Amino acid sequence: MMVKKKRADKEEASQENHTETPDYEEYNYPVRNSGNGDSEDNAEVNNDDNLIKDEGSETVSSDKVVDREKELQEKLAEIQDKYIRLSAEFDNYRKRTLREKMELSKYASKDVLLKLLPVMDDFDRAVSNMESSEDYTAIKNGVDLIYVKLSDFLKQNGLREIDALNCPFNVDLHDAVAKVAVDEEDKKGKIIDVILKGYYLQDKVIRHAKVVVGE
């Protein structure tokens, strides 16, 4: 009897333990979905967002390219306008300079001739006196004064005579138009007569002297 009673107690204890222990199969635990359902939907949404972002970035970049191209075209137009203006100004400057050079070469002797006119006036008065005066000495003195005045004027403007008479012949200064035999040894190779005077302008020979050389 004791054995049966112990068995009955054990069965009751086991039933009590069984009722107190929760049945895990009856609880609904959240299960992580490892399938393709929601994740695929999320991936599609993300792809759509990326496409929208790419399209937006492409639109922004294309706008920048258009703006940059417009800016470059404006700069090119500005540079072309400056070039055309500069070319026109240079052409006008070239024409004006050419005209000034032509006028300068045409009227370069203006100042010299203005200073020479008083000498010409003296010659006119001398010629008039020659026709009415019989005092040849006075006429000669007047002509001599005019000659001195003219010589001084030429010297003031850089013109000076080349030394020739009794000087050794120099091909850089003299042109021999004739050679004459001479008895004196010291006159051989020297200029014994000047046919036409030569002149310097400053340090440059502008006319060689025409001379006769002894030999």
The fold of the 160-215 domain, in CATH, is Nucleotide Exchange Factor Grpe; Chain A, domain 2 (2.30.22)
Contact between 162 and 198 (Cβ < 8 Å)? yes
Share of the chain above pLDDT 70, in %: 72
pLDDT (tens digit per residue) in 37-52:
455 555 554 555 555 5
CA 84 to chain centre: 16
Amino acid (1-letter code) at residue 66: V
What's the whole-model pTM score? 0.50
pLDDT (tens digit per residue) in 110-138:
888 888 898 889 888 888 888 777 788 88
Phi-psi region of 16 (alpha: psi -120 to 50; beta: other; left: phi over 0): alpha
Question: In this structure, what token pair is assigned to residue 126?
Answer: 């001398």
Domain definitions of the chain by residue range: 160-215
Q: What's 130's DSSP letter? A: H
Which of 4-18, 130-144, 176-190 has the lowest average pLDDT? 4-18
R_g over Cα of the chain: 62
